[in-house]
Structure 1
Amino acid sequence: MNVKPRYIALLMALAVLLGAAGSYIGIEYFAKAEQNDSQAEQLATADEGGENFGSLSEEEQKKFIEDMTGNSTTDLEKVEQAYSIIKDNYVEDVEQSELVEGAIQGMLDTLEDPYSVYMDQETMKQFNQTIESSFQGIGAEVSMVNDKVTIVAPIKGSPAEEAGLKPNDQILKVDGESVEGLDLYDAVLKIRGEKGSEVTLEVSRPGVSDPLSIDIVRDDIPLETVYSDTKEINGKKAGVIEITSFSEKTSDEFHEALTKLEDEGMEGLVIDVRGNPGGLFTDVQEILKEFIPDDKPIVQVEDRNGEKSRYFSNIQEKKDYPITVLMDEGSASASEILAATMNEAGGYDLVGTKSFGKGTVQQAIPMGDGSTIKLTLFKWLTPDGNWIHEKGVQPTVKVKQPDYFYTNPVDVEEPLGYNDNSDKVKNIQEMLKGLGYDPGRADGFYSEKTVKAVESFQSDAGLDVTGEIDEKTGGKLEEQIVEEVRKEENDKQMQKALDVLFK
């Protein structure tokens, strides 16, 4: 039985939190409350006799509760009474742990903060595996946005990225089962699974009217977070460091990569945090200390009372080479700290598109039994004191990728052909344009010219030439688009970052 006592959640959870240090003494006391026969008779009468509990006066309600539990209705005693009423009188047996955990979850729900969550013992076990060297699953950072399980960003090279999941996708169903009403970590446990197993996600995507069905084969997800490379542009050598997330070893890996590039004589640096969902607050600070002089804070933290703490580096001068930062809508949290600070305190350009917009800091608070509350404790502010929450960081040089970078997986139940008009057709037209075929239009109407473009594509791909998009043609379109996206010369944002670097 799934019990969610929403109406008593706030007070109930308060009692649990206060009792946690004492091994839940309060809860143990509640469990000893016994119901006598007269109380049971009174409950039955109130339910059957036309004058139900809700119609009693306030004084009569207090008297009823006192008769039930022997307690007054002040402060936390009200929580004890609510617990006893439910535990001892509900029509079905109720597990004590369900009431306790439901109350904690209910209290967190009242905060309306998607980043403050409760993780029970099993969820914490799964979470701890995730922050180790690797885990098994689809490889995507998720958050709860407007009560929807939402993709922040897929991890670089993960099955989620390969399958085409994008930032801001909202997961509606997992293997045909709705995730509506589940908390974030319950939904995550449904999505994760053993390497080699397949999961089907039904996804709502901004700008697409119909849900998308995306099949993903789970795999090992290694947590390598730093990748480095060098590029030549106009006779100059640029170093590129990509950070995919901020974990315990990221700052050490970054320092090692930076030192190697500097030793190799790089003349400029691009830091790429596109699709980086964030991570540890401490690690991004350590990375920023490599670049930001001590005359401005690298980040500020504000508590619930409005008091601010400022964090500084211990270097006096900037690097002697130019730097640009690459970001996009999948750059969140610690990535946004890096981007905002490099711009405001370092004066460096930000290239790409507006970031995700997460300006809060959470801390995990153990509950003593293996469960944990992850609670938002602070706002983080940029060096100039700006709060970017739900607004994001704006690039100084705005660059979008080519339109076909933003196309969706082809979902074809029935073949699409001449005279059809839908978002699916529009998506296919963008794909055709990206591959060099002219569909004549890209507004979703399957015109004669679109038919000709499909026929040309099918002929070049060795498919049956029908002019219609069936499952096989759609799959081949997807395959070739992925190849185009992976080509270095098609990465317009990276090309612009390099141009800005040596402008």
Structure 2
Amino acid sequence: MQFKGRTVLAFVLLAMFASSILTLTIVDSSTFWGWKEKPAGSAAASAATSSGLSSKDLNKIATTYQLIESKYLTQTDHDKLVNGAINGMLDALEDPFTVYMDQKEAKQFDESISSSFQGIGAEVSIDEGKFVIVSPIKGSPAEKAGIQANDVIVSVNGDKLDGLTLNQAVMKIRGPKGTQAKLELIRQGVNDPIQVIVVRDNIDVETVYAEMLQDQIGKIEIRQFSAYTATRFAEELKKLEAKGMKGLVIDVRNDPGGLLNVVVDIVNPFVQSGKPIVQVENRDGKREPTPSTGTGKKYPVTVLVNKGSASASEILAGAFQEAVGSKVIGETSYGKGTVQVTFEKEMGDGSNIKMTVYKWLTPNGNWIHKKGIQPDIPVEQPAYFKAAPLSKKSVLKQDSNSDDVKNLQLMLNGLGFSTERSDGYFNDKTATAVKAFQRTNGLPMTGEVDTETANKLERAILAQIREPKNDAQLKAAVQELQKQIGK
């Protein structure tokens, strides 16, 4: 991606980190703010002058601090007050992707960029004070525990998250490998909160998985866009092409994003030279496209997306959809179309600010923010894919009526044990289905769902979801390619 003027572009990041989803551009900030070349240490004064802060404004802020320090009922903490003032200004922007990180949080952020981390493996954002799961990373503890995109985290190990910043909430969610995070979640369409226990682990740094399917159709799954993803993608693509691949499925479902330069490198060979892969627009409406230098591919490509496909995944899907003419299949993606810049150097003390400064747009200039990429071929997964974990607060019995029973019925029907209904009422058919499941799995045939039965049900339905033959979206992607290659 090229930028004019004195801008020094290192790279553009789209969030793959557990702190927030973001599109992050590292640049020379003097270009953004129109500062002239200043000696080291003058950034704060320049910022004040450039932003229009008068001496009266600065005095008002200083007076507030002095009054709190000298008059407030209890002793105050200097750093906490300063950080609170910065957070207050950024909160006034009402932008969930513009955040302040103190020294500890900034260090954690840097570690997330440069190395693997320990945690639950889910992308988290903040929306109107609510901490929302953007996407569980594929293969992560979060995905294995049944956490879904758009789940709202209410508490962690009994600690409510109300009033916390995004980074503070993430630090509660993260933790050492082997420790438990008991999450209370609110899920759309489910009346009662869901309790989920996730065992933290190392988050897998491998991001590319490839295989050859039937009819010489290749499939490459991208779980994140990290520093080595483009290299790994190229390696796997070359292997598939050497085996005579006739069509390719690129799967970015539940991929929360990553490095934009990596997305460009992955997409570039598929797009004819000169066509834009992505565009970036500044506050004045000036756009800068990233043109391809590729030659295109002779075989067709389909792209799989769902509501957990965010940021870099959406750039990839948009580029294939508009610049290559590929079919996008699945569900409408997350909808993240802004770009953030970090200002660690300007802060000068190890803290950092991520601030929204750009939009990114598709090759045709479409802004997908809060709208997402619309699939050419919409495909919903079977109903049991969306079943929530059972709360296990009490034994589920005949004639009870709850969201737990509704999810129980979704699981039983998905496993082939018909309940003849899925409205949350525990009827006699549901009891018969439970007994049949218990008999099949060597459990006491009580017809009631205790913790042991619930745990086995959840493990069974997760195995069912992971079985490729049950993946309706993948089937649709393969069928589309078969049609295009004449199979």
Q: Shorter-chain-normalised TM-score: which range?
A: 0.7 to 0.9
- Cα distance between partner residues in 2 of 1:302 and 1:168: 28
Shift of 1:131: 2.4
Unaligned runs of 5+ in 2: 1-37, 47-53
1:270 aligns with 2:249: yes
Partner residue of 1:341 out of 305, 319, 324: 319
The residue number in structure 2 matching 1:159 is 141
Match of 2:192 in 1: 210
Q: Hey, what does 2:167 align to over in structure 1? A: 185
Q: Which amino acid aligns with 2:74?
A: E
- In structure 2, what is the equivalent of residue 490 of structure 1? 470
What is the deviation of 1:455? Answer: 1.4
Q: Are the counterparts in 1 of residues 338 and 356 from structure 2 also a CA contact under 8 Å?
A: yes
Q: Does 1:351 align with 2:371?
A: no
| Residue 46 of structure 1: aligned partner | none
Q: 1:318 aligns with which of 279, 282, 296?
A: 296
Partner of 2:120: 138
2:76 pairs with 77, 94, 101, which one? 94
Q: Is the 8 A contact 1:270 1:498 kept in 2?
A: yes
User: What is the CA distance between 1:85 and its match in structure 2?
Assistant: 2.3
Distance 1:76 1:483 in 2: 60
Q: CA deviation at 1:295?
A: 4.2
Corresponding residue of 1:331: 309
Query: Residue 374 of structure 1 is aligned with which of 354, 363, 368?
Result: 354
- Superposed, which structure 2 residues align to 1:21-40 within 5 Å? 21-22=41-42
* Worse-matched range after superposition: 76-85 or 395-404: 76-85
SS in 1 for 2:114: coil
Q: Distance in 2 between matches of 1:223 and 1:250?
A: 10
Higher relative contact order structure (alpha carbons within 8 Å, sequence separation ≥ 6): 2
Alignment of 1:219 onto 2:201: yes
Q: 2:262 aligns with which of 272, 283, 297?
A: 283
Q: Say if 1:331 and 1:20 are closer, same or farther in 2 by CA, change over 3 A.
A: farther
Question: Is contact 1:357-1:393 (8 Å) kept?
Answer: yes
- 5+ residue gaps, structure 1: 1-17, 27-71
Distance 1:427 1:459 in 2: 20
Listed one character per residue, the Cα deviations across residues 415-442 of structure 1 (whole Å, up to 9, x for unaligned) are: 1112111111111111111011110211
- Taking the aligned partners of 1:365 and 1:253, their CA distance within structure 2 comes to 31
- Counterpart of 2:96 in structure 1 is 114
When residues 357 and 23 of structure 1 are mapped into structure 2, their CA distance, relative to the original with a 3 A threshold, is: closer
* Letter in structure 2 aligned against 1:254: F
After superposition, the CA RMSD in angstroms is 2.0
Report the AA paired with residue 251 of structure 2.
Answer: D
1:330-372 deviation per Cα after TM superposition (whole angstroms, max 9, x unaligned)? 0001101110111111110001111001111112210221111
Task: Letter of the 2:435 partner, please give it.
Answer: E
Amino acid at match of 2:172: K
Corresponding pairs, count: 438
Give SS of 2:188's match.
coil
Please report how far the alpha carbon of residue 489 of structure 1 lies from its aligned counterpart in structure 2 after TM superposition. 0.8
The AA in structure 2 aligned to 1:425 is: V
Pick aligned residue for 1:447 from 409, 427, 452: 427
Q: Which has the larger radius of gyration?
A: 1
Between the aligned partners of 2:417 and 2:158, the Cα distance in structure 1 is 36
Residue of structure 1 in register with 2:394 after alignment: 414
One-letter code of the match for 1:224? E
Deviation for aligned residue 1:80: 2.4
Q: Contact (CA 8 Å) 1:20, 1:368: kept in 2 or not?
A: no
TM-score (norm 2): 0.86
Per the alignment, residue 10 of structure 2 pairs with none
Q: 1:240 aligns with which of 219, 223, 248?
A: 219
Secondary structure in 2 matching 1:75: helix
- SS in structure 2 at match of 1:345: helix
Distance 1:22 1:83, change over 3 A: farther
Structure 2: distance between partners of 1:331 and 1:288:
16
| 1:88 Cα offset (Å) | 2.7
Could you tell me the TM-score, scaled by structure 1's length? 0.84
